[in-house]
Structure 1
Amino acid sequence: MLTSSPNPDPMRHHPVQVALLLSASVLLTGLIFVSCATDSSSTAVQAQAPQTCDSCLAGTCAEKSQACLSDPTCRETFECAQKCGDRDKWCVWNCVLARPQSVPKFFPAAHCTTKQCSPACQFPARIIDSCLECNATYCGQAMSGCFENRECWTLVHCVRNNCQPGDLECAQECIGEHPDGLASIQPLRDCGGDHCAEQCSRRENYDLPDGGAPR
């Protein structure tokens, strides 16, 4: 994984900053795939007339999908992400990094599509969950700001995929590799803590293997 240098690191940060980063990594990068449970009656209807992607987006996810797909930039991000494989997080992140202004509309639409319209809509699983949707909904400007600074999101990704909760030494190594991302995390960490703690506190966010490396 990451290796520590035996020499003192001039970029080393105060433990409080590292703890804040660990908290931010929980708030920013939950990776639970939320499946959609259906009752027996809806299952019977689907068996007779399989739902199409368009009908689902126009029905169950109408408000969120329309908000995204009617925005040319968000539509580009959505269509880009549709080409990514399951768990290929950096494929999706690169779609967003190319269009950070699409964050507030993209993540709610993507989460609804993943949760409600799979498998009718081809969309990568185990990437977009309620934590990301919540942060995009309540903290869209701060989240866009993190995506505008690639080092910010790369730092979050480093901690999320290499460090266990509370592992300050591991988080410090990520900060040492991506120090330019630290400042951009703070606004999102503060906003996410106020609005999305419940959605982002699930321990299983740390249990899924990484599906891609920065590229």
Structure 2
Amino acid sequence: MLFPEIEEIVAAFKYETITEERKNILQPLIDFVQLKNDTQQEIRLNFICTHNSRRSHLSQVWAQTAAHYFNIQNVFCYSGGTEATALFHKVTDTLEKSGFNIKKLAEGDNPVYAIKFSENEIPIIGFSKLYDDTFNPENSFAAIMTCSQADGGCPFIEGAEKRIAVTYEDPKAFDNTNEQTEKYQERNLQIALEMFYVFSRIKN
């Protein structure tokens, strides 16, 4: 069971609102997960963005949550950047408002967070890191490029079995504006909907 607030969000999802164009973009990710699931291999997904501060973390968290929700086994979601900065506070605020239980494990310029979607499940560890950090898998993973800048600027991801571009607009564009909260929530819900759509398509 997910925390009640997350369950409420998931119950409101309407997959038919996802455009055919976006479904086509998501299909290679569905195919990768399905193939690994069919062959009973571990499913490792590394969501990569330039600073590993916003979109890659949202994707990692919601993908891991969706895998649990749909009971897809052996799914391990990670995130990384072409630079390491910090998990942006507005992302943790937005996830908290969505019902995630978040605990700060370490302070400093690059805080470390434990992010829980369910009472009895292992938390997701969130902090900014390079995509090839030792915290992340060395090989046999799909590199999911969540921003066009990282996708274009990082043509080779060592150890990646497959590279898949699933890019999102950066909510950072609305930092320090009146629309900030609304735009972060908008991107949060888009990513959540699409990651749940991906795992809803997996046949066990």
Common fold by TM > 0.5: no
Q: Which has the larger radius of gyration?
A: 1
Structure with bigger RCO (C-alpha 8 Å, 6+ apart): 1
- TM-score, with structure 2 as normaliser: 0.29
| TM-score in terms of structure 1 length | 0.28
**Higher helix fraction (1 or 2):** 1
